[in-house]
């Protein structure tokens, strides 16, 4: 971006100076963490159209060039892949489709050599039904210690023919399945908050707790820098497993739908959302205190990051109290619409809530479970988290508008103090793939709802690396486990590398300036005097102005160091964000 000194317009006076800086200087407080979804990053073994660990190791220099600090690897463990690896059959081994433990060691060594931290995914709420623990439970009688490792229960009704309660699976349909005994008679029911192939573990059982301490140590001994903890709000279920009917507008993973803001701003003004008996139970916290103490046994700053769809933010902050996890994904931020007042409110609420417990806020706009933000921000109707979008979805996004807003939203996000997560492909501006052929879809959500919900395949399509290679350079076989759109060549990394104005170069500039100005460890100071649609603040030496509206806005004086779009007046156009050196 060419620099430009603006004259005649004075910077608005600071309105509020809130001490938002989190205490401490551990790497994870300010890190930009890049999520790799191994199936879709790079097919290094080049045989099957599925990404793998060798592919990640080979392509890792691209992440150094991008400028991120750490990698989070989604699951690569032994798994029948019923939920793309979030159904783990062996927590301490690598699935052959992804490689071997030696490939993992090589990947980790390469990351550390390149100065990148490495976080792996831990999936404690449920295992695969193919896990040896569940297989042992199946051949053991009701009431046995093997069954007590999972959530088995007798049915209700006259003959146990009805499930123990009315809970629904996140992927659709009932959350209980019934076993058939060896003699052909109907047996007990087991709980699966997700797919039937993902039975929930019984976290009241000390045996389960002990096994997971061992799993943590297995990976910590190998040298990982931490864990992203899957469904970290689900491990403990309310005593008596009471019936529960979620609000129609609630997220499938929990959360009130109120964006985590203060009650008067949220959609559920004045009401306290009830806590589902399977999410956010108090009992989860002692588990995370225990894990915190396991991580403390190790050298270096190891991190636990919670995937907890919990609102409001003041409640989520309980996951990151000083002796629990270190970070929690800020899904309230992810779910916030592109509008000045709601963006300001969620940023303020996040910083207040997390600073209140001495933790950094995190920021995230995309991941492997949600509609990519380059499409989501242009949707004209709300599409619930996890349901995905497809050709029949309401509010079809306009591609150019979505990308423009995504670039502006990322420019705002990467200026915020705390830790930011970037999902593979967003640095290329990838849109959600809306028109995947139905017979290519693989998300269990699609099958469990008989095609009513599209699910998450549209954000998981393998990455384009080279415009002119088969499968856009994803792998030598030219195959791709989900079909890549025919018009993706312009998104390929090699088409964007070194090209001024490309999304890749925008991300590189943002990450370089963020590091140079140490924005991740900064503080923000709100600036006033702008229209409501504008989010304006100062973080150290950088003034950030994000225009979520349509009307252009006069900029304060100073050198523009990064802009989400090129413009040649001194007015900031709509759906554009800038960083100005003050
Ligand atoms: C988490 C994962 C998601 C998975 C679910 C069940 O939400 O991010 O991909 O399907 O947990 O493990």
Domain residue limits, the chain: 3-13+523-581, 22-127+205-510, 132-191
Q: What's the CA-to-centroid distance between 74 and ligand 1, angstroms?
A: 10
Read off φ and ψ for residue 526, nearest 5 degrees: -70, 145
Q: Does 86 contact ligand 1 (Cβ within 6 A)? A: yes
**Model confidence band, residue 46 (pLDDT cutoffs 50, 70, 90):** confident
The C-alpha atoms of residue 11 and residue 543 are separated, in whole angstroms, by 9
Ligand 1 pocket test: pick from 74, 192, 197, 230 the residue with the most ligand atoms within 8 Å of its Cβ: 230
- Selection from 100, 97, 81 nearest residue 47 by Cα: 97
Q: Does 335 contact ligand 1 (Cβ within 6 A)? A: no
Q: Does 123 contact ligand 1 (Cβ within 6 A)? A: yes
Among 124-133, 338-347, 383-392, 542-551, which is the least confidently predicted range? Answer: 383-392
> Which superfamily is assigned to 132-191 in CATH?
Oligo-1,6-glucosidase; Domain 2 (3.90.400.10)
User: pLDDT at position 421, please?
Assistant: 98
Flag whether pLDDT at 258 surpasses 70: no
Read off φ and ψ for residue 329, nearest 5 degrees: -60, 135
User: pLDDT at position 247, please?
Assistant: 82
Q: Does 87 contact ligand 1 (Cβ within 6 A)? A: no
Nearest atom, ligand 1, residue 309 CA: 7
Q: What's the CA-to-centroid distance between 366 and ligand 1, angstroms?
A: 14
**Model confidence band, residue 21 (pLDDT cutoffs 50, 70, 90):** low
Q: What's the CA-to-centroid distance between 62 and ligand 1, angstroms?
A: 27
Q: Compute the mean pLDDT over every residue in the chain, rounded to the nearest whole number.
A: 93
Q: Whose CA is nearest to atom 2 of ligand 1?
A: 230
Nearest atom, ligand 1, residue 171 CA: 10
* pLDDT tens figures, 429-470: 999 999 999 999 999 999 999 999 999 999 999 999 999 999
User: pLDDT at position 254, please?
Assistant: 73
Choose, from 47, 286, 297, 452, the residue flagged as catalytic: 297
Flag whether pLDDT at 271 surpasses 80: no
Q: Whose CA is nearest to atom 7 of ligand 1?
A: 231
Q: Whose CA is nearest to atom 4 of ligand 1?
A: 86
How would you label 100-114 residue by residue, b for 16+ Cβ within 10 Å and e otherwise?
Answer: eeebbebbbebbeee
User: pLDDT at position 10, please?
Assistant: 30
Active site residue 297: yes
Question: What CATH code would you report for 3-13+523-581?
Answer: 2.60.40
Task: Find the angle CA(308)-CA(511)-CA(122) to the nearest 5 degrees.
Answer: 30
User: Which residue shows structure tokens 């995504």?
Assistant: 406
Nearest atom, ligand 1, residue 368 CA: 9
Beta-carbon count within 10 A of 157 CB: 8
Range 22-127+205-510: architecture per CATH: Alpha-Beta Barrel (3.20)
Could you tell me the pTM of the whole model? 0.95
User: pLDDT at position 24, please?
Assistant: 81
User: Is there a cis peptide before residue 312, judged by omega within 30 degrees of 0?
Assistant: yes
Q: Does 134 contact ligand 1 (Cβ within 6 A)? A: no
When comparing pLDDT for 1 and 552, which is higher? Answer: 552
- H or E stretch at 353: helix 340-355
User: pLDDT at position 560, please?
Assistant: 98
The C-alpha atoms of residue 8 and residue 304 are separated, in whole angstroms, by 48
* pLDDT tens figures, 283-312: 999 999 999 999 999 999 999 999 999 999
Flag whether pLDDT at 1 surpasses 50: no
Choose, from 225, 230, 369, 523, the residue flagged as catalytic: 230
Active site residue 83: no
* pLDDT tens figures, 195-248: 999 999 999 999 999 999 999 999 999 999 999 999 999 999 999 999 999 887
Share of the chain above pLDDT 70, in %: 92
Flag whether pLDDT at 15 surpasses 80: no
């Amino acid at each position: 971006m060419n620099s430009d000194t603006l004259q005649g317009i004075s910077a608005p006076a600071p309105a509020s100076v809130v001490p938002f800086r989190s205490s401490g200087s551990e790497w994870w407080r300010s890190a930009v963490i890049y999520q790799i979804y191994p199936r879709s990053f790079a097919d290094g073994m080049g045989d099957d159209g599925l990404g793998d660990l060798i592919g990640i190791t080979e392509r890792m220099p691209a992440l150094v060039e991008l400028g991120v600090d750490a990698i989070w690897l989604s699951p690569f463990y032994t798994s029948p892949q019923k939920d793309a690896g979030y159904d783990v059959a062996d927590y301490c081994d690598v699935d052959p489709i992804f490689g071997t433990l030696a490939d993992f060691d090589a990947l980790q060594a390469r990351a550390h050599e390149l100065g990148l931290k490495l976080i792996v995914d831990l999936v404690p709420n449920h295992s695969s039904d193919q896990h040896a623990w569940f297989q042992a439970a199946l051949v053991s009688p009701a009431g046995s210690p093997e069954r007590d490792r999972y959530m088995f229960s007798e049915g209700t009704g006259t003959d146990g023919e009805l499930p123990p309660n009315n809970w629904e699976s996140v992927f659709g349909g009932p959350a209980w399945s019934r076993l058939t005994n060896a003699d052909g008679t109907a047996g007990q029911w087991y709980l699966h908050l997700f797919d039937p192939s993902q039975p929930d573990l019984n976290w009241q059982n000390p045996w389960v707790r002990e096994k997971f301490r061992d799993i943590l140590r297995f990976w910590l001994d190998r040298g990982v820098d931490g864990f992203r903890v899957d469904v970290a709000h689900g491990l403990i279920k309310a005593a008596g497993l009471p019936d529960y009917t979620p609000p129609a507008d609630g997220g499938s993973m929990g959360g009130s739908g109120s964006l985590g803001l203060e009650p008067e701003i949220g959609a559920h003004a004045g009401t306290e959302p009830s806590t589902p008996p399977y999410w956010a139970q108090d009992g989860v916290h002692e588990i995370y205190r225990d894990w915190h103490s396991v991580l403390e046994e190790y050298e270096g700053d190891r991190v636990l990051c919670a995937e907890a769809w919990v609102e409001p933010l003041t409640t989520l902050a309980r996951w990151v109290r000083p002796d629990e996890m270190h970070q929690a994904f800020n899904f309230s931020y992810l779910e916030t619409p592109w509008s000045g007042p709601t963006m300001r409110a969620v940023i303020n609420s996040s910083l207040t809530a997390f600073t209140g417990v001495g933790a950094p806020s995190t920021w995230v706009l995309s991941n492997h479970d949600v509609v990519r933000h380059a499409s989501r921000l242009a949707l004209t109707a709300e599409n619930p988290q996890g349901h995905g979008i497809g050709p029949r979805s309401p509010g079809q996004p306009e591609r150019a508008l979505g990308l423009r807003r995504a670039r502006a939203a990322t420019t705002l996000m990467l200026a915020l103090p705390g830790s930011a997560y970037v999902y593979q492909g967003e640095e290329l501006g990838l849109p959600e793939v809306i028109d995947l052929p139905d017979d290519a879809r693989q998300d269990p959500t699609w099958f469990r709802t008989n095609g009513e919900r599209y699910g998450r395949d549209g954000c998981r399509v393998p990455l384009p690396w080279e415009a002119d290679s088969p499968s856009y350079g994803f792998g030598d076989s030219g195959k791709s486990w989900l079909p890549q759109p025919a018009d993706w060549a312009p998104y390929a990394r090699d088409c964007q590398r070194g090209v001024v104005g490309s999304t890749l170069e925008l991300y590189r500039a943002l990450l370089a300036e963020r590091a140079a100005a140490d924005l991740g460890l900064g503080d923000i100071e709100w600036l006033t005097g702008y229209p409501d649609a504008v989010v304006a603040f100062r973080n150290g030496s950088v003034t950030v102005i994000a225009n979520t509206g349509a009307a252009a806005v006069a900029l304060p004086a100073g050198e523009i160091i990064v802009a989400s779009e090129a413009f040649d007046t001194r007015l900031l156009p709509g759906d554009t964000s800038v960083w100005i050196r003050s």
